[in-house]
Structure 1
Amino acid sequence: MSTTLAHTATPLPAEWRDFFALTKPRVMSLVVFTGLAGLLAAPGAIHPVLGFTAILCIAMGAGGAAALNQWWEADLDAKMKRTAGRPLPSGRLLRNDARDFGLLLSGASVFVMLVAIHWLAALVLAFSIIYYAVIYTIWLKPRTPQNIVIGGGAGAFPPLIGWIAVTGEITLMPILLFAIIFIWTPPHFWALALFVKTDYAEAGIPMMPVVAGETSTRRQILAYSVLLLAVSLLPWLIGGTGALYGVSALLLSGAFVALSVPVGLRRSQPNDRMSPEKRLFGYSVIYLFALFTALVADRMVLA
């Protein structure tokens, strides 16, 4: 790893906003929401204070892993327009400060989860941090175009952890929640990669559109979208949810497939603001929020 960035000049004074930016707040909002959904959808009950603590630990763990990701990839971030304004490539933070901040958040999140909630929840949380900060960031991302496919597990842990915080065990239902996000991740990120692939190419990151080409990427987006439709219905089909979730999953995932069809069949991508790729990417974020909202609403109805 190169250490030339941010050490060649005196960094600008850091603010709390710079440390907060290291946690990738937009990503963390999705992490916190799906973790909370897993906690609320789980059978049984948890004391509100403990529930808040569990979600706080999930947020801290995700933020710590994100900070470690940016510490490691600071040089790569400097090469891409989309990430050049982050605290490290812009010189607002020292690289070692980002590393120490990430380690502190990660360690504190696992420790508090262990002491306050459950050893299994703490163990899965620790593994999720290692998965993202080490397995995905250091090993997968710079080496294989399948980085997003395998690395999708990193963002799929929160509902599993939330479920464990309540029940203290891993059953089929939380595994299916994990699987939904795991399968959702490739079409979500590849839709983004299609319209920022130049950034990835210039940074030397082997993202699927760069290595396999647009045609192959588009076909895989469509294939994963169809698979997502099937997987999203499984919680209903096994009897883990009611009809409210089942109908919502069918409609939401059906729309996902419908939006992925023009992406999958397209051969070139003009730089227009309403391209099928951008529509699919935008909807994919709404989709996950809506699907897990339906999951929680269904649980409330059944209760």
Structure 2
Amino acid sequence: MRIVERGGHGLAGAPDATPSNGSDTVWGLISGKVLAYLALTKPRVIELLLVATIPAMLLADRGTIDFPLILATLFGGWMGAASANTLNCVVDADIDKVMKRTARRPLARMAVPTSHALVFGLVLGTASFVWLWWAANLLAGLLVLATIAFYVFVYTMVLKRRTWQNVIWGGAAGCMPVLVGWAAVTGTISWEPIVLFLVIFFWTPPHTWALAMRYKEDYKAAGVPMLPVIATEERVTKQILVYTWLTVLATLALVPAAGVIYAAVALVAGAWFLLMAHQLYAGVRKGASVKPLRLFLQSNNYLAVVFCGLAVDSVLGWDTIASLLS
């Protein structure tokens, strides 16, 4: 079996077209430092987490859009996720230097002092808790603190370097935004956000293992026992297939709380996601060339489509559409 991917060529080391003056140098240093701190928060990861928060809040307050509360919760959630990611970078600085995929992270290339990154992460976490307590309620703030603690102490410091199940259980931290969003609206937790939690929980392993298939040598060099490092590719893709089925089934379990729009989106998107997983598994079994990164990238689109469908369903609903058509 051979893994292939399309690559691109970029320009590197090109000389500046114009000479820089003193002010340009100072501005360059400041902007470079700001970008380094921003990179510690892993903005692309946060985007997906926040996408999950909005539909959970809309479903919790079906038919109503409380823009101030949504924006406040997103801001608090962003600070919480940024805190967890920054502290993750602090703990993982040693292995980030070894892995090609992460070698350009700020701490790996020493763009930010470790002590400064630690303080930055702790301040963000504290601010997230205080903000959500003030803007929403205490439960939302406590859930954010629990998320940060679990991600740093349980996943990063214990599971990640000790077991291939690191992604399975550690992925629970990435599921928490839906609980935070629901709690911000209702002040409680019920079965609906738990189902949404399970959707992301089951989605995380196939999403992450597909990426790890491409970078398994990196993980191996860093001593991280990701499943693709310690198992055959057939076993990995079989596990990806199993968790993809669990993800799709979890999305369908939410249909009673949603409506026709969400049901249709979940069915169509689920069939598409399952098709990709089956194709990857079948390709590996046949010894054909496969592209695991395709599943990794498209899994992001799948989750975004499902949650956007839930958001639209929560705001409009079948009754609203029926009344507009009548």
Q: Tell me which residue corresponds to 2:265.
A: 248
Distance in 2 (CA, whole Å) between partners of 1:228 and 1:141 is 22
Which residue of the partner structure matches residue 111 of structure 2?
92
Which residue of structure 1 lines up, in the alignment, with residue 60 of structure 2?
Answer: 42
| Partner amino acid, structure 2, of 1:41 | L
Q: 2:50 aligns to what?
A: 32
Counterpart residue identity of residue 111, structure 2: R
Structure 1 counterpart of 2:96: 77
Q: Which one-letter code corresponds to 1:242 in the other structure?
A: G
**Could you tell me how far 1:163 is from its partner in structure 2?**
1.2
- Tell me, yes or no, if structure 1 residue 292 matches structure 2 residue 307: yes
Change in CA separation of 1:143 and 1:269 when aligned onto 2, cut-off 3 Å? farther
State how far apart, in whole Å, the 1-side matches of 2:173 and 2:67 are.
26
Q: SS in structure 2 opposite 1:205?
A: coil
1:35 CA displacement: 1.2
Deviation at 1:298, TM superposition (A): 0.5
C-alpha displacement at 1:161, in angstroms? 0.8
- Match of 2:269, SS? helix
Q: Flag structure 1 segments of 5+ consecutive residues without an equivalent.
A: 1-11
CA contact (8 A) 2:209 2:236 kept: yes
Q: Is the 8 A contact 2:199 2:248 kept in 1?
A: no
Q: 1:283 aligns with which of 298, 306, 309?
A: 298
Note the C-alpha offset of 1:42.
1.5
Please tell me the root mean square deviation across aligned C-alpha atoms, in Å. Answer: 1.9
Q: Which position in structure 1 is the counterpart of 2:207?
A: 188
Of 27, 32, 36, which residue of structure 2 is paired with 1:18?
36
In the superposition, the TM-score normalised over structure 1's length comes to: 0.90
Q: Are 2:134 and 1:119 aligned?
A: no
Could you tell me how far apart the structure 1 residues matched to 2:269 and 2:135 are?
Answer: 36
Question: What's 2:254 paired with?
Answer: 235
Residue 31 of structure 1 deviates from its aligned partner by 1.2
Aligned residues: 288
1:84-233 to 2 correspondences below 5 Å:
84-233=103-252
Q: Which has the higher contact order (CA 8 A, sep 6+)?
A: 2
Q: 2-side partners of 1:133 and 1:271: how far apart?
A: 38
CA deviation digits over 1:200-229, x for unaligned, max 9? 001100000111232211110011111112
Question: 2:65–2:315: 8 Å Cα contact kept in structure 1?
Answer: no
1:64 maps to 83
Residue segments in structure 2 that go unaligned for 5+ positions in a row: 1-28, 321-326
In structure 1, C-alpha distance between the alignment counterparts of 2:90 and 2:39, rounded to whole Å: 12
Q: In structure 2, how many angstroms separate the alpha carbons of the residues matched to 1:113 and 1:161?
A: 9
Answer yes or no: is the 8 Å Cα contact 2:213–2:228 preserved in 1.
yes
Between the aligned partners of 1:240 and 1:47, the Cα distance in structure 2 is 20
Larger Rg: 2
